[in-house]
Chain A
Amino acid sequence: MSSPFAPLFSLQEVCKDYPLAEKGGQQLQQVWSLLRGHSPRHVFRALSDVSFSIHRGESLGLVGVNGAGKSTLLKLMAGVVTPTHGTIERNARVGALLELGAGFHQEYSGRDNVFLACALMGLSRRETLERLDGILAFADIGEHIDQPIKHYSSGMIVRLGFAVATSVTPEVLITDEVLAVGDESFQKKCMTWMESFLAGGGTLLLCSHSMYHIQKMCRQALWLHEGRVRMQGSAADVIRSYLAWHEERDRATKAKSSAELAAQQAGGIYQVKSMFLNGRDSAEPILLPPRGTLTVSGRLHSPDGRTPQVAVGIVRADGTPVYGIVSEMDGHALTAGADGLFRYAITFPELPLLPGRYVARSHAMDPEGLRLFDHVERPFEMGGTSREFGYLQLRHEWHDDPEVPSPP
C-alpha cells in the first residue's frame, strides 16, 4: 500500500475491446495474433478512454443505460478483466460482488461455498474460520447453511454472497446491482452495513439503477454512455442530468411515434392547434390563487370539416388524473370560426385544488367521440399554503354535536 494520499484507483485512458466471434479456422489465427501481442481484427469497443481516480472515502456511483459499459468497468476495476489499452492502478484491498452467487457451486452446502468463496478472496482457512460466525450471522440463513445452495432462494444466495464479500473488510467494495434482489429487511441491513462501512472510511463503488441508493451512498457519480464517460461530478448533479436526459429521450421517442401516426393518416388528423389557460399560451406554469378560476380554451383542426369533440382534463404534475370531461358529455357542440378552426372554452370556477403543480390537457377527438387524437398540455400552479392532504379541497363542516342517525 502506498501513501495515504495516493488514489485507491487510478484509471488512465482505459479501453476495453471484446473480440467478435470468429468462425472456424480463424480461431487459431486469433490465438497466434494474441500471442504476438496484436489485437484481434474484429472487435466491439465496450469502453473507450475512461480516465478517473477514486480517493479514499470518495464513493462513486455508476449510472448509465443498459449496455453502457458499467459492468465492464466494474469488472476491470475488480481485476477480472484486463484493459485492452490504458492502465489501471489499484492501491487497495478490493472486495467485489459482481454477480449474485458468483463462484458458488449449486451442489455444495452454503458452508462449503463460504469456504471456497473466502479462499477466492485470498483468505486462509484460519482467517475464514475466524470470520465464519460473523458471515453466518449476517447471512441469516439458519439451519439451511448445511443444505446444498441449489435449494436456496435468490435472496438467500445474495445474502450469503454479500456476507462473504464484506467479511474481508475491503477498503473498496464493488457491487453491481445486487442489492435489488434482497428483501426489504435485508436491503435495510445492507444499507446499515454500508453506512457504517462508509463512516469507517470505506469506499464504495456502486452500480445501480436506483438513483436513491446512489444519492444516499455516493458523493461522486459517473455517467457512462456508450462506453464513454458522459459526465462526472457530484452525485446530485450527475443524477439530475442523467434523469433529464432520460426524460428528453422518452419525449423524443413519443414525438417520433405521434409523428408516424400523423404520417399514417394521409388526410390529416383532428388536432389541437392552440391551447390557452386563462387566455395565456405559455409553457411556464400560470399561477392561480386558491379557489381561483381556470378557463381552458383553444382551437381544433378538423381534417374533413366535421365538428370534432374536445376532451379537457386536469392531472397532477406526476400524471395522476384529477378530472376529465368530453364536450359531448355535456351536449356541448363546438362552433367553427372564420378560419375554419373549431373553438372551445371551458371554465372551472372556484377550482377546489390544493396548492401544488398541475397540468391541464386538451385532446382532439373525432366527431363520434370514439378516438382520441392530439394531446396538448399546459402547466399551472395553485398558489397558497395548506396542510390538508390529497389534491382536492372538499367542502366540509365540523360539528360540535354531530347528529348521527342511530341504526334502526
Chain B
Amino acid sequence: MALSRAWRHRWLLRSLLQRELRNRYVGTVGGLVWVLVHPMLMLAIFAAVFQYVFQVRLPSASPEQPYVLWVALALWPWLAFGESLSRGTVAVQQHGDLVKKVAFPQELLVYSAVLASMVVHATGYATVLVLLRLWGYEVHFAGVFLVGLWAWLVLGCAATGVALFLAALQVFVRDVEQLLGQVLAVVFYASPILYPLALVPAALEDAMVFNPLVHVLEPLRQAGLGRQWPGATVLVAAAAGAGALWVLGLAWFRRLSPHFEDQL
C-alpha cells in the first residue's frame, strides 16, 4: 500500500531523484566528482586526527583493525541517516512552488530527498571501504555487503518514516528544522559511532539499549570487521521497526498533506 503510489509514479520519483542529486552539484565544475572527493577527504581527516595525532587505540581491537576502519564502518551509515532526516524534513517546504501548482503525490519529495542522501553516502561508504582495503586493512567485504544491505535498508526505511513525519510538521511549524539540527547532534554523540559500546559506563549502557541506532550500527560494524554475524532476532526486529516507522510516517503525512497548500 505504502509503495504502490510511489511505484505508479516511479518515473516521477526517478526524475525527482536525479534532480535532487544534480541540485547538489549543479553549476559546480567538479560535478559528481565531489561525491567521491568528499568522503575521501573526510577519511583523510579522520586518519590524521585520530590515528596519528590522538593515536586512539580501541580497548579490544587487534592492531590490524585500526580506529579509522572501525569508525568508517558506522560513520557513513550515520551520515546518510542524518542527512536523510535533515534534507527530508525540508523537502516539502522547499518545493512549495511545486506543491502549490501541480497535483502529484507529495511524499515523493521526501522519498527523493532521502534516497539521494542514501545514494550519495552509500557511494562514499563503498569508496572509503575500498580505499581502506587497498591501504591494507582487513575489511570483511562479505559481512559488509550482506549486513550492510540490511543496515542501509533499515536506516533508509526508518529515515523515510521519520522524515515524512517531520516534513509534514515542518510545513506548519517551521521550528522543526532548527530543532532537528540540535537533536541530531545529540543523537550522534549518544550513539556508539566515535566510541565503542565497551567504553560506555555501566549505568549508561542500560540506557543505550533504547537507542535503536545501536542495534543497526553495532551488528554492521561487527560483521564488517569479520567478528560476528548478527542474530536473526535483531535482523527481523529492526526491519519490522523501520517498516512500521515508514507506515506510521506516511499515514501522518497523508493526513496533513491536504493542508500543505494552505500553509506554503
Among B123-131, B136-144, B225-233, B254-262, the one that faces the other chain is B254-262
* Contact yes or no, A30 B14, CB < 8 A: no
Minimal beta-carbon separation of A400 from chain B (angstroms): 70
Closest to A117 in B: B102
Residues of A within 8 A of B102 (CB): 80, 96, 98, 102-103, 120
Where the two chains meet, the residues of B that have a C-beta atom closer than 8 Å to any C-beta of A are: 9, 11-12, 14-16, 19, 22, 26-27, 97-104, 169, 172-173, 252, 255-256, 258-259, 261-263
Contact flag A123-B11 (CB < 8 Å), given A31-B169, A79-B103: yes
Alpha-carbon gap, A273 to B97, bound state (A) = 58
A312 within 8 A of B: no
* Contact yes or no, B255 A75, CB < 8 A: no
Minimal beta-carbon separation of B46 from chain A (angstroms): 33
* Contact yes or no, A35 B255, CB < 8 A: yes
Minimal beta-carbon separation of B12 from chain A (angstroms): 4
Closest to A19 in B: B262
Most chain B C-beta atoms within 10 Å of own C-beta, residue among A31, A102, A108, A115: A31
Residues of A within 8 A of B98 (CB): 102-103, 120
Alpha-carbon gap, A301 to B195, bound state (A) = 99
Contact partner, B172, options A30, A103, A120, Cβ 8 Å: A30
Minimal beta-carbon separation of A81 from chain B (angstroms): 5
Residues of B within 8 A of A34 (CB): 172, 255-256, 259
* Contact yes or no, B101 A80, CB < 8 A: yes
Contact flag A81-B261 (CB < 8 Å), given A35-B256, A102-B101: yes
Alpha-carbon gap, A18 to B14, bound state (A) = 33
Residues of B within 8 A of A28 (CB): 172-173
* Contact yes or no, B262 A18, CB < 8 A: yes
* Contact yes or no, B19 A31, CB < 8 A: no
Alpha-carbon gap, A387 to B65, bound state (A) = 103
A27 within 8 A of B: yes
Residues of A within 8 A of B258 (CB): 82
Q: Total interface residues on A, using CB and 8 Å?
A: 31
Residues of A within 8 A of B27 (CB): 107
A124 within 8 A of B: yes
Alpha-carbon gap, A64 to B15, bound state (A) = 38
Contact partner, B9, options A81, A96, A122, Cβ 8 Å: A122
Alpha-carbon gap, A126 to B22, bound state (A) = 21
Contact flag A31-B11 (CB < 8 Å), given A80-B101, A80-B261, A116-B19: no
A99 within 8 A of B: yes
* Contact yes or no, B26 A108, CB < 8 A: yes
Alpha-carbon gap, A98 to B103, bound state (A) = 11
* Contact yes or no, B26 A27, CB < 8 A: no
Residues of A within 8 A of B262 (CB): 18-19
A119 within 8 A of B: yes
A105 within 8 A of B: yes
* Contact yes or no, A31 B172, CB < 8 A: yes
Residues of A within 8 A of B97 (CB): 102-103
Contact residues, A1-32 vs B (CB, 8 A) = 18-19, 27-28, 30-31
Closest to A99 in B: B101
Alpha-carbon gap, A157 to B14, bound state (A) = 24
Alpha-carbon gap, A30 to B258, bound state (A) = 14
Residues of A within 8 A of B22 (CB): 108
Minimal beta-carbon separation of B141 from chain A (angstroms): 34
A to B CB contacts below 8 Å, 18 in the list: A18-B262, A27-B172, A31-B172, A31-B173, A35-B256, A75-B261, A80-B102, A80-B261, A81-B261, A82-B258, A82-B259, A102-B101, A103-B101, A108-B22, A119-B9, A119-B14, A119-B16, A120-B15
Contact flag A80-B255 (CB < 8 Å), given A19-B262, A27-B173, A119-B12: no
Alpha-carbon gap, A99 to B97, bound state (A) = 10
Residues of A within 8 A of B255 (CB): 34-35
Residues of B within 8 A of A81 (CB): 261
Minimal beta-carbon separation of A114 from chain B (angstroms): 11
Contact partner, A120, options B14, B26, B100, B104, Cβ 8 Å: B104
Return the 7 tightest CB-CB contacts between A and B, nearest first.
A102-B101, A79-B103, A82-B258, A119-B15, A119-B12, A124-B11, A27-B173
* Contact yes or no, A98 B101, CB < 8 A: yes
Minimal beta-carbon separation of A20 from chain B (angstroms): 10
Residues of B within 8 A of A124 (CB): 11
Alpha-carbon gap, A124 to B27, bound state (A) = 27
Alpha-carbon gap, A81 to B258, bound state (A) = 7
Closest to B256 in A: A34
Closest to B168 in A: A31
Alpha-carbon gap, A122 to B172, bound state (A) = 28
Most chain A C-beta atoms within 10 Å of own C-beta, residue among B12, B19, B173, B262: B262
* Contact yes or no, B11 A80, CB < 8 A: no
Contact flag A31-B12 (CB < 8 Å), given A98-B101, A107-B27: no
Alpha-carbon gap, A31 to B19, bound state (A) = 30
Residues of B within 8 A of A42 (CB): none
Residues of A within 8 A of B172 (CB): 27-28, 30-31, 34
Closest to B263 in A: A19
Residues of B within 8 A of A103 (CB): 97-98, 101-102
